[in-house]
Amino acid sequence: QFPFGRRLPCDIYWHGVSFHDNNIFSGQVNKFPGMMETVRKITLSRAMRTMQDLFPLEYNFYPRSWILPEELPLFVAEVRMMKDRNPSWKPTFIVKPDGGCQGDGIYLIKDPNDIRLTGSIQSRPAVVQEYICKPLLVDKLKFDIRLYVLLKSLEPLEIYIAKDGLSRFCTEPYQEPTLKNLHQVFMHLTNYSLNIHSGNFIHSASVNTGSKRTFSSILCRLSSRGADVKKLWSDIISLVIKTIIALTPELKVYYQSDIPAGKPGPTCFQILGFDILLMKNLKPMLLEVNANPSMRIEHEQELSPGVFENVPSPVDEEVKVAVIRDTLRLVDPQKKKRKDTQSLPSPTTLILCCRCQSLEQVPEANEELPDAGPAARPESDIPRSREAALPSLCLKQVFPKYAKQFSYLRLVDRVAALFIRFLGVKGTTKLGPTGFRTFIRNCKLSNSNFSMAAVDILYIDITRRWNSMGIDHKEPGMCLQAFVEAFFCLAQKKYKSLPLHEQVASLVEFCERHLAALRGKRLVWGCG
């Protein structure tokens, strides 16, 4: 453990907070650049909204959301319009600060006028969402699921899901929201960090009882009641893959900025925490994605007033140790070397730059993997006891395993590839006016009805509006979200009669075809 970093190179770097905890130039690091920014509530909501515009049925697992403060008038107007259409509709909304965590600053409202504008919402923007009023209850309590997802690679995309997760319970019996109970956080909010302060919180030595249980124990209970658990898991896998697909375009822009193609640098992987709520009909709904899920496997217990002791948590230990252990097994750099060289492996170096995560009881990084067969080394050298001690992987690959079913959703990925291609300067995340004009010219998108002057106006209008929302003022230019909006506008102009996803797909193919032809011409000129 090196709190202040280390100069000697390592195989694996385990950072506590972000990719930039230390400057690294090789090996593998357990954080992607830009992941913390990409899964913030506002950025996640924008990414999901883009996908909902393209594929509304496929992305109906994310609650309808509005971004504050810029969409407050829109939120008020849309709620009023929906109430006029259906006077019996009595919605509840949940307000979540953009940078909040562990339930900090979250509150429920019945009326848009109840949003707390005091305390300057400009300095602390938020997301307001429709509150899910009919959740699945167990023992009359609301609960959510924390699932651990390993994003092992961005290009090519590789996703693993842990076979078990945590079920985190509220500590007061659930009732549908009313003006009288809106403030009762122990009834409505499932955050562990909030409920642990409730007098009703139960620390249990069993994974089947208490205020925190394994997700598998909930599945067993549902199965015993005749629920279709296989379909539920299939829906959860679909939700995870679709969410990652929504996040990858932004991540790729950050990635090329910090680790430019063609230059030596580290590769990345990351464990994400997906918070999912099950509705009464067993439909999973995404609440949020956590870039730094807690890996603690103990909790504090007060022995006497002011005296605390760390006590092991059997539930956390059962789920989290397996996730950490199998992540290290999957990213083990010696695994590839053993396959490539079939020679005696040297020990893997694991460097921990841990500031907030706990890795107690994790197996050593140079443990033998189950697939290192006798051909890798002499039979007498194989540590049979350690080999046998490793259980089967708890992490299940879901992508590229199910890539065929979801490849059609990766439209924005292709738009992002165009954006990155025309960025020009390596290390930047914003597209300048010259880059945008080059994109239009090379893709043959200007004509008599859409002049280069109109191109400049489109660039200025969209870029100015996105920059006025407070989207990263440090670097001038057009961000990816603004480029996606401009691209959608161009697609709607060019292919008016088609649905939006077909318009965008048609324009992507049009641009890719022209760029391929241009590349072919340059190759011919080069040969000439």
Digit-coded pLDDT (tens) for 137-184? 999 999 999 999 999 999 999 999 999 999 999 999 999 999 999 899
- What pLDDT is attached to residue 307? 78
pLDDT value of residue 241? 98
Residue with tokens 């051909």: 375
pLDDT score, position 378: 40
Determine the average pLDDT of the residues in 83-104: 84
Closest CA to 136 of 218, 211, 201, 208: 218
| pLDDT value for 295 | 92
Helix ranges restricted to H, 158-297:
185-188, 192-195, 215-224, 229-258
Distance between CA 332 and CA 325 in Å, rounded?
A: 10
- CA separation for the pair 498, 503 (Å, rounded): 6
In this predicted structure, what is the pLDDT of residue 354?
45
Rounded to an integer, the average pLDDT of 394-410 is: 95
Residues with Cβ within 8 Å of 408's Cβ and at least 6 positions away in sequence, in order, are none
Give the other-Cβ count within 10 Å of 181's Cβ.
Answer: 14
Say whether pLDDT at 346 is over 70: no
For residue 367, is pLDDT > 80?
A: no
**Following DSSP, what letter does each residue of 79-143 receive, concatenated?**
HHHHHHH-TT----EEEEETT--TTTT-EEESSGGGS--TTTTTTS-EEEEE---SB-EETTEEE
Angle at 409 between CA 403 and CA 413, to 5 degrees: 95
State residue 366's pLDDT score: 37
Of 7-16, 354-363, 421-430, 460-469, the least confident: 354-363
Contact 286, 160 (CB under 8 A): no
Taking the CB of residue 143, how many other CB atoms lie within 10 A of it?
23
Could you tell me the two tokens for 191? 């955050």
Question: Are the beta carbons of 337 and 3 closer than 8 angstroms?
Answer: no
| b/e code 418-428 from CB counts within 10 Å (16+ = b) | bbbebbeeeeb
Which band of pLDDT confidence, cut at 50, 70 and 90, is reported for residue 238?
very high
- pLDDT of 42 higher than 70: yes
Whether the pLDDT of residue 414 is over 70: the answer is yes
Tell me the Ramachandran region of residue 444: left when phi exceeds 0, alpha when psi lies from -120 to 50, beta otherwise: left
In this predicted model, which residue has the larger pLDDT, 347 or 431?
431
Listed in sequence order, the residues at least 6 apart from 161 whose beta carbon sits closer than 8 Å to its beta carbon are 147, 148, 149, 150, 236, 237, 240, 395, 396, 398
Helix and strand counts by DSSP (H, E) for the chain: 16, 18
Q: How many CA atoms lie within 13 A of 262 on its CB side?
A: 2
Mean pLDDT lowest among 32-41, 58-67, 342-351, 418-427 = 342-351
The long-range contacts involving 422-425, CB below 8 angstroms and separated by at least 24 positions, are 423/256
How far apart CA 525 and CA 528 sit, in angstroms, is 5
Q: Tell me whether residue 385 is exposed, middle or buried, using C-beta atoms within 10 angstroms of its C-beta: 0 to 12, 13 to 18, 19 or more.
A: exposed
What integer pLDDT is reported at residue 11 of this predicted model?
Answer: 87
Q: What is the DSSP string of 349-404?
A: PEEEE-SS---TTPPPTTPPPTT--GGGS-GGGS-HHHHHHSPPPSEEEEETTTHH
Assess whether pLDDT exceeds 80 at residue 419: yes
pLDDT band at 229 (very low <50, low <70, confident <90, very high): very high
Alpha-carbon gap, residue 71 to 127, rounded angstroms: 10
Global confidence as pTM = 0.87
Confidence of residue 376 (pLDDT cuts 50, 70, 90): very low
Stretch among 79-88, 185-194, 259-268, 452-461 having the lowest mean pLDDT: 259-268
Least confident of 307-311, 322-326, 370-374, 424-428: 370-374
The 10 Å CB-count burial string (b at 16+, else e) for 359-371 is beebeebebbbee
The reported pLDDT for the residue numbered 438 is 95
The answer on pLDDT for 301 being more than 80 is: no
What is the reported pLDDT for 24?
A: 74
How close are the terminal C-alpha atoms of the chain, in Å? 57
- Residue 93 has a pLDDT of 94
Percentage of residues in the chain having pLDDT higher than 70: 84
What is the rounded CA–CA span in Å between residue 253 and residue 43? 14
Q: Mean pLDDT over all residues of the chain? A: 85
User: pLDDT, tens digit, for every residue of 442-454?
Assistant: 999 988 888 999 9
Q: What is the DSSP string of 11-36?
A: SEEEESS-GGGS---SSEESS-TTHH
Q: How far is 293 from 310, CA to CA, in rounded Å?
A: 19
Q: Which domains does the chain have, with CATH numbers?
A: 35-63+132-333 (3.30.470.20), 410-525 (1.10.238)
Q: What is residue 415's three-state secondary structure? A: helix
Beta bridge partners of 162: 395
The answer to whether 28 and 11 are in contact (CB under 8 A) is: yes
Tokens representing residue 116 in the block: 């707390």
Region 334-347: mean pLDDT is 55
* Residues linked to residue 95 through DSSP beta bridges, in sequence order: 107, 128
The span from the CA of 45 to the CA of 58, in Å, is 15
Q: Which residue has the tokens 């590789």?
A: 158
CA separation for the pair 221, 231 (Å, rounded): 15
Q: Note the pLDDT of residue 374.
A: 35
What average pLDDT does range 36-58 have in this prediction?
A: 96
Residue 287: closest CA among 277, 272, 301:
277
